[in-house]
Structure 1
Amino acid sequence: MSKQNQGEQEVMTKKKFGIKAKLLLFTLPIIAFAFLLVAFLSYNFAKDKISVKTRELLQASAQSSENKILTWQRDTLRIVDTALETMQNLKMNKEEVLAYEKFFLETNEYFPNGIYIIQDDGNLLDASGWEPDNDQRESDYYKIGLEHSDKLYFGEAYIDALTNGFVVTASRHMDNIAGVGAVANVDINLNTLAEVVKEMKVVGNGDAFILDTANDTILAHKNEKMVGKTAKDAGDSFYKQVASLAKSKKSQVTSLASKDGDYMVSIEPIDDTSWVMVCRGLEKNIYSDVRTLAIILSIVSIVIVIIISLVLTILIRRITNPIKRLTDTIVAVTNGDFTTDIEVKGNDEVTVMASNTREFLQVMRNALASIAKVSDNIDMQAKDSTQIAKTLHESASGQSEAMTSLRGNLDELIESIAVIAENATKLATVVADTSDAGERAMNNMAETMKAADDGRQNMKSVTVSMSEIQSGMSDLEKSITNVGGAAVKINEITATIREIAEETNLLSLNASIEAARAGEVGRGFAVVATQIKSLAETSAEAADQISNLIDSVNDLINETVEQSHQSVGQITAGVERVYEASDQFNNIFDGITQTNSIIQDIIQQIHDANDVAANMAAVTEEQSASAEVIGNTALNVQELTDIVTGNSADVEKDSENLTNMADSLEKQISAFKI
């Protein structure tokens, strides 16, 4: 394939991705993205606004229904509270209370069974005639009433067996009903809750229900089939989620999933009860208008993008036509045809570019003609340089081989001298280390001799001390024996004191007897006799204690005497060993003295060898340094020779390359038409 055909093919390929296509590919996605972004932001903005308004409406609906229930609750309980206050303030007896209760039987649609009272002593005051089988003080509503004395409080709701509807018992403790504290109760039906729930209109075609958080039971629901079911048995996890959130007793609006879809839910606790009002609306119904708006915005955006695309295509085509003609000229120049010309028409940026390109073509024609002449001159000079470079390279190669051989011989000489220097240095180091070790050994021997002399003197002192200890132990043995004799004498004296105490005791006994015979006159003498008797008993006890202590001391003295006998024998044996050790120490001291003399002679000989080794090491180190200087010089010469060789080879290659480049340049220039 020719160069011109190849260029035309490239142009055709580039046309597929020309400026027009690039502009369209660049601008259209941006415009489309901008419109879609606007549609998306509009959708989200509208959705957020509707979400906020819906939450407010749900909460308002729940609060409105809660207020209705609270109003009904307060109105109903106000009637009962008024009746209970009347019973207590008028101090009615049982008959009057029962008569007063009859006024409320079947008179109020919310508590048709009236009021019944459980007194703290267990009596039941109920005008309806109800007689329970068990003690009502064990009931839940009685216990709840005990905890609330300020107002009636609702317990858990339950299904009444007669009406099959939900009923809740309100209870309150009164201080004085018929003279006794009591819990007043009233059973209130919850039909009103169902009416309130059914009347509610919730946003998004939603509904509402009331849940008792005490047992998670649905008290009221638009779907009557759900009434009475627990959140667990409702058949939808939605109710479990509501029951879990309602435990917090806080007003809240949130989104929860169910089998019908996602619900927006408002949970409002009802004051003074365990109930919560729940309003919910399906989000797909709430946001249906927003989704329709999003679809309309998307369609409008697509139509606008298509219109803009058509307008852009027409504008870009008009703008790119001059550029296309300029591109065709540039392609021809790229293929080597500098004979072509460019039409300059108009006054925009493209016209300026065409005019400059035209001038560039004229400059390139002149430059190519000059390059052709210079190329011929370069070719001739390159051939001459190649011949000179070959001659220089051959000379440098021979010199490099000779320097390599010289360098090998010098390396062997340097290695030999280095080995000698290293061995001489090691010898000097070993001798020096040996000399230092000898000095330390001589110093240690001097210290050892001094320590041996001190030890000999100390052994003499030990011998004298051991003799003194032996004499002292003999004196101690005698002293301990004397102490034992003294203890025996103390024991005899203690026995005498004991006998005197016994005789004194007998005398005090006789004195007491005589004082008793003397009657009133001898009473003072009897006191003295008693004191004498006490003193005698105390003396006898002290004598016994002293005797026991003396016996213990005698035992210790006997043990000490026995141990002192053993110690004297051990000390005598020790004295004999000390005499033997003293003789051996004298012999050791004589041997150390002789060893010291021998070591001093060895140290002197080591000093002489150290001087010889140091001189030898110094001489070999000087020879090694000189050899290294010679080797480095030879290495530098060899390196310079190698550099010259390499440079000459590079020059030869560069000359050959220059010749080839000159030939190539001539061929390339011949391809241009000028």
Structure 2
Amino acid sequence: MKNKNFSIKAKLLLAIIPITCAMIVALVIIAYNVSAMMIKQNATQLLETSVAKQGTSIENWMNENLSSFNAAKRAIEQAHPKDAELQKIVNGYYNFNTNSPDGLYIADQNGTVIKATKSTKNTTNAVNSPWFKEGLSHVNMTFGDPYVAGGHKVISATGLIDDGSNNLRILGADFTLDRISTIVNSNISMDGAQAFLVNKDTMKVMADRNSAFVAQKVGSSDQPAIYKAAAKQIDHGNYNTQTLGTDFTAFHTIAGTNWVLVSYIPTKVVLANLSKLRLIMIAISIVALIIMCIVVERVTNRTIKPVKKMTKVITAMADGDFTVDVDTKGNDEIAEMGKSIDKFIVYMRQMIKAISQISTSLQTQANW
């Protein structure tokens, strides 16, 4: 059986096209991965900048409020006022601060409470209240954990006060968490990002867009998975920007407190534009492959066409036909080969002509 001929064109196409396709696919993959890395780096930097900006806003809010009430605390300690005068001072701080409308209140170890006359604060069983217990460990007024008071979630700034009496007294002021929650969820520089504030000592949520999570332990069952993942990192003191589950996550500690601000954004949001880019790159790659295949086929065909012509000429010569011609154009190796074959054909024609003339001469002489 004769072996089936396999054209040079087919061999070249089978060698060139797969290699070309592989190179284009490799370039697309490399470009996609490089783009993804750059987008992730930019997202990380933007998230870190955003959480730092939010942290600064919280620190400013906290310092501004604590400064005013600590100033009041120092004034009371210097004046050593009687209870009647102390009541007037407390009344003067009612609605003094928009973040703490009820103003100041003072409670001693006997459960006696001095608060503004118009204050609605519930002071029943003050000694066992969260704010009183927190105040026992603070010299200066410091924020504690959030708790529910009068149906509202509040946070108290409390501290020990020496007003000249012989009683152990706690000075306090309640703040609604609405303002701090607003700060936590504002000034976010990235669309789709969210944040929550955690007390790293008690692991309670201080502020969150979802008010139902406030005062809960971070990582509770009804919270998203990111809360549980963030809780583990806070528990280990790992505040590096990182990917937790499906979210880019940044941490920021609030100076002067035991609070940690956590800001996160879903990876799919960050890479949304990259997904579109991937589809565009795939479409461009397919078009490029089709064009490349057509170009390679045309170039190969143009290159192989003279070889095919020479093959026909050589086949005719092998059958003894030297009337054929090689039409050679160009100055490449194939053209040089064609010129050489053309010279050979001319030489063979001359030889055949000479042999024919000699044969005719010999035949004439033989007839004589």
Q: Same fold (TM over 0.5)?
A: yes
Query: 1:303 Cα deviation (Å)?
Result: 1.7
Within 2, Cα distance between the matches of 1:332 and 1:343?
Answer: 7
Report the residue type matching 2:138 in the other structure: H
| Displacement of 1:353 | 6.0
Does 2:33 match 1:65? no
Deviation for aligned residue 1:198: 4.6
1:193 aligns with 2:180: yes
Do structure 1's residue 85 and structure 2's residue 69 form an aligned pair? Answer: no
Equivalent in 251, 268, 292 of residue 267 of structure 1: 251
Partner SS for 2:222: coil
Q: Is the 8 A contact 2:145 2:215 kept in 1?
A: no
Find the aligned partners of 2:295 and 2:208 in 1 and give their Cα distance.
Answer: 61
Report deviation, 1:76. Answer: 1.2
Give 1:52-451 correspondences, 5 Å limit. 52-119=41-108, 122=110, 124-128=112-116, 132-133=124-125, 136=127, 141-142=131-132, 144-149=134-139, 151-160=140-149, 162=150, 164-175=151-162, 177-178=164-165, 182-201=169-188, 203-230=190-217, 231-248=219-236, 251-257=239-245, 262-324=246-308, 345=326, 346=328, 348-350=332-334
Residue 271 to residue 232, structure 1, CA distance change in 2 (3 Å): same
Deviation by residue 1:378-397 (Cα, 9 ceiling, x = unmatched): xxxxxxxxxxxxxxxxxxxx
Secondary structure of the 1:14 match is coil
Query: Contact 2:195/2:209 (CA < 8 Å) preserved in 1?
Result: yes
337-346 or 243-252, which deviates more: 337-346
Please list the CA deviations of residues 433-467 of structure 1 after superposition, one character each: whole Å capped at 9, or x if unmatched: xxxxxxxxxxxxxxxxxxxxxxxxxxxxxxxxxxx
Q: Are the aligned partners of 1:208 and 1:279 in contact in 2 as well (CA < 8 Å)?
A: yes
- What does residue 12 of structure 2 align with? 23
- In the alignment, residue 246 of structure 1 is paired with which amino acid? I
Residues 1:183 and 1:316: Cα distance change in structure 2 (over 3 Å)? same
The code of the aligned residue for 2:142 comes to: Y
Per the normalisation by structure 2, the TM-score is 0.75
Query: Matched residue of 2:94: which SS?
Result: coil
Amino acid at match of 2:39: I
Is the Cα–Cα contact under 8 Å of residues 51 and 252 in structure 2 kept in the other structure?
yes
Q: Deviation per CA, 1:145-185, whole angstroms, max 9, x where unpaired?
A: 44432x3222221121x1x2221222223455436664423
Match of 1:14 in 2: 5
Give the 3 Å change call, closer, same or farther, for CA 123–318 of structure 1 in structure 2: closer
**Distance in 2 of aligned mates of 1:58 and 1:348:** 61
Counterpart CA distance in 2 for 1:348 and 1:250 is: 68
CA distance in structure 1 between the partners assigned to 2:305 and 2:123 by the alignment: 108
The superposition leaves residues 57-98 of structure 1 with CA deviations (integer Å, 9 ceiling, x where unpaired) of 222222222222222211111111011101111232344333
Provide the alpha-carbon RMSD of the alignment: 3.5
Cα offset, 1:47, TM superposition: 2.2
TM score, norm. by length of structure 1: 0.44
SS at match of 1:108: coil
Whether the aligned pair in 1 keeps the contact of 2:51 and 2:263 (CA below 8 Å) is: yes
> Cα deviations across residues 228-276 of structure 1 (Å, max 9, x unaligned)?
444213243221111222335564322222xxxx222222222233333
The one-letter amino acid of 1:14's match is N
Change (3 A) 1:115 1:342: farther
**3-state SS of 1:170 partner:** strand
CA-CA distance at 1:277 after TM superposition: 2.3
Alpha-carbon distance between aligned partners in 2 of 1:40 and 1:139, rounded to the nearest angstrom: 61
Separation of aligned partners in 2, 1:80 and 1:64: 25
**CA positional deviation for 1:296:** 1.7
Q: Secondary structure at the match of 2:145?
A: coil
CA contact (8 A) 1:98 1:125 kept: no
Kindly tell me: are residues 101 and 348 of structure 1, through their superposed partners in 2, closer, same or farther at Cα, counting changes over 3 Å? closer
- The answer to whether the 8 A contact 1:116-1:186 is kept is yes
Structure 2: unaligned runs, 5 residues or longer: 345-368
Aligned partners of 1:99 and 1:127 also within 8 Å: no
Q: Deviations over 1:17-72 (max 9, x none)?
A: x3212211222223223333333333223222222222222222222222222222
SS, match of residue 155 in structure 1: strand
Kindly indicate whether residue 36 of structure 2 is the aligned counterpart of residue 47 of structure 1.
yes
- Letter of the 1:278 partner, please give it: V
How many residues align structurally? 334
| Percent identity for Structure 1 against Structure 2 | 22
Task: Look up the SS of the partner of 1:240 in the other structure.
Answer: helix
- Tell me, yes or no, if the aligned pair for 1:118 and 1:184 is still in contact at 8 Å: yes
> Which amino acid in 1 is paired with 2:198?
L
Name which of 30, 35, 41 aligns with 2:24: 35
Change (3 A) 1:14 1:102: same
Q: 1:64 to 1:348 in 2, by over 3 A?
A: closer
- Give the distance between the partners of 1:255 and 1:276, measured in 2 at CA: 17
Match of 2:355 in 1: none
Partner of 1:399: none
Give per-residue Cα distances to partners, 1:594-653, cap 9 Å, x unaligned: xxxxxxxxxxxxxxxxxxxxxxxxxxxxxxxxxxxxxxxxxxxxxxxxxxxxxxxxxxxx
Residues 30, 205 of structure 1: alpha-carbon distance in 2 compared, 3 angstrom cutoff = same
* Structure with more strand by fraction: 2
Distance 1:112 1:248, change over 3 A: farther
Greater C-alpha radius of gyration: 1
Contact 1:202 1:281 (8 Å CA) reproduced: no
Distance 1:341 1:285, change over 3 A: farther
- Cα distance change on mapping 1:189 and 1:314 into 2, 3 Å: closer
Measured against aligned partners, the alpha-carbon deviations of 1:401-442 in whole angstroms (never above 9, x if no partner) come to: xxxxxxxxxxxxxxxxxxxxxxxxxxxxxxxxxxxxxxxxxx
Contact 2:54 2:188 in 1 (8 A): no
Contact 2:136–2:160 (8 Å) recurs in 1: yes
Q: Hey, what's the Cα distance between the residues in 1 that align with 2:67 and 2:320?
A: 113
CA contact (8 A) 1:97 1:125 kept: no
Q: Residues 248 and 104 of structure 1: is their aligned pair in 2 closer, same or farther, counting only changes over 3 Å? A: farther
Contact 2:51 2:188 in 1 (8 A): no
Distance in 2, Cα, partners of 1:131 & 1:322: 104
**Is the 2:146–2:214 Cα contact (8 Å) retained in structure 1?**
no
Question: Does the 8 A contact of 1:66 with 1:270 survive in 2?
Answer: yes
